[in-house]
Structure 1
Amino acid sequence: MTSEFPGSPRIMKGGLVAYQLPELAPTIIVYQYNPDEMQRQIRLRGGGGGRGDSNRVNGPPEEQISFTVEIDAADQLEFPAQNAITLDNGLHPVIAALEGLLYPSYPLVIANEAMALAGSAFIQGEQAPLVLLVWGPKRVLPVQIDSLSVREQAFDANLNPIRVEVEISAQVQSYRDLDITNPGYWVYMSSFTMKEVMATLNTFGNSTGIRGLLPI
């Protein structure tokens, strides 16, 4: 008897996309396994003020996101002929790509160091890349990676890490943090719009009983 479900549904992979502006060629880090959970802390950004201003806010809330990514080279090492890079380097490349999310542009650092050694007073500002957290079509957010906690759990004969667990903590960048000329500004506004759309679709639970108690 033929199954009604001939194939398993394709699972969308989450990931991180980094742009070292003004360059628009991104570094893309796709999760090998989607994290089992994500912790989000959303904190009101109060605006203070006097009487009558209790609901005033200073822009959108601060949002902190944390999750753990697991990476294992076992599948690639099972077929070494097709995965020469992993065979030679283990997981060093993906670890370096993740760590690069906290670093300024390497060419810019070298240029600044050269100018400093030459006695130049002009040093360009060093900025970490613009990072987009991609978690399905309804959640794409500009974030600043605050910290990485890298746990290397297994190594090959050359001490290349082949199993790694990375705890990632990131701060969502809002329209208050990004200039309007920054592409991340528009990514955030698109996410803000999506949040409004999702809120209008909220039909969870029966609100009839509560409506009858409302004083206004």
Structure 2
Amino acid sequence: MTTDPLRPATGVIVFQYNPETLTRTLTARTAGDQSGSGPARFAGIAEQALKLAVELDATDQLERGDPLARAVGIAPALARLELLVQPAAATVIANEAMLRAGVVEILPAEAPLTVLVWGAQRVLPVRVTEFSVTEDAFDTALNPVRAKVDLGLKVVSHPDVPLLSEAGALSMAAHVGREVLAGLGG
């Protein structure tokens, strides 16, 4: 799920199939003396990276006679995913216009908040760090009808963003949820 007022149609991306695997890598954020002579200290919530593969296939839609799938295959789903790593065209055009008008400092486009919902227990604000598409099959007009998208994600947490921001609040809720889950088992 993303929030981008310039592209409201890209707000929710539902995976056609649940990815078979999700790889998580946690790296402790530590502070202070790393020589081992003093106590280990945490500087914040661990950095977390995720990797997953999303499979898209228009076979079922094509068999049902879906007009959108017949016209463009899975291109709309691929486009929604691709927009996670690109600024809105309106922002690019506006920045170019400001540049040509002599504006001295132009801020890079802010990425929309992207939230990965992996079940009720894992709702995580993320940034896409890697994006690779393998298109496996095409229709007669060369529209992709089957593809695999490999995604690398960085979970956004405090201190990446302010704790009271939307992303910070989601991150802290996920962190508290992990602590609750850890307390359930024996």
The structure with higher relative contact order (CA 8 Å, sep 6+) is 2
Please tell me whether the aligned partners of residues 69 and 165 of structure 1 are also in contact (alpha carbons under 8 angstroms): yes
Change in Cα spacing, 1:148 to 1:196, as seen in structure 2 (3 Å) is: same
TM-score, normalised via structure 2 length? 0.91
Aligned length, in residue pairs = 185
Change in Cα spacing, 1:164 to 1:23, as seen in structure 2 (3 Å) is: closer
Partner of 1:30: 14
Q: Deviations over 1:130-175 (max 9, x none)?
A: 1111000000001110011100000000000000001110011111
Q: Is the aligned partner of 1:97 residue 2:80?
A: yes
Q: Is the aligned partner of 1:126 residue 2:109?
A: yes
The 5 Å alignment of 1:5-154 reads 17-20=1-4, 27-49=11-33, 53-80=38-65, 83-154=66-137
Partner of 2:177: 194
Q: In 2, distance between residues paired with 1:48 and 1:23? A: 43
> Partner amino acid for 1:150?
V
> Partner amino acid for 1:79?
R
Change in Cα spacing, 1:94 to 1:114, as seen in structure 2 (3 Å) is: same
Please tell me whether the aligned partners of residues 6 and 88 of structure 2 are also in contact (alpha carbons under 8 angstroms): no
> Partner amino acid for 1:36?
E
Partner of 1:179: 162
- Displacement of 1:71: 0.6
Change in Cα spacing, 1:105 to 1:179, as seen in structure 2 (3 Å) is: farther
Q: Is the aligned partner of 1:168 residue 2:135?
A: no
Q: Deviations over 1:49-100 (max 9, x none)?
A: 26663311221111110011111000111122xx222211111111111111
Segments of 5+ residues of structure 2 without an aligned counterpart are none
Change in Cα spacing, 1:196 to 1:168, as seen in structure 2 (3 Å) is: same
Partner of 1:212: none
> Partner amino acid for 2:53?
T
Q: In 2, distance between residues paired with 1:22 and 1:141? A: 22
Of Structure 1 and Structure 2, the greater strand share is in: 2
Q: In percent, how many aligned pairs have the same letter?
A: 37
Please tell me whether the aligned partners of residues 58 and 146 of structure 2 are also in contact (alpha carbons under 8 angstroms): yes
- Displacement of 1:45: 1.6
Please tell me whether the aligned partners of residues 4 and 113 of structure 2 are also in contact (alpha carbons under 8 angstroms): yes
TM-score, normalised via structure 1 length? 0.79
Greater C-alpha radius of gyration = 1
Please tell me whether the aligned partners of residues 105 and 127 of structure 1 are also in contact (alpha carbons under 8 angstroms): no
SS in structure 2 of the partner of residue 159 of structure 1: coil
Report runs of 4+ in structure 1 exceeding 4 Å deviation: 21-26
- Displacement of 1:125: 2.9
- Displacement of 1:181: 4.6
Deviates more, 1:188-197 or 1:120-129: 120-129
**RMSD of Structure 2 on Structure 1 (CA):** 2.0
SS in structure 2 of the partner of residue 202 of structure 1: coil
Deviates more, 1:180-189 or 1:93-102: 180-189
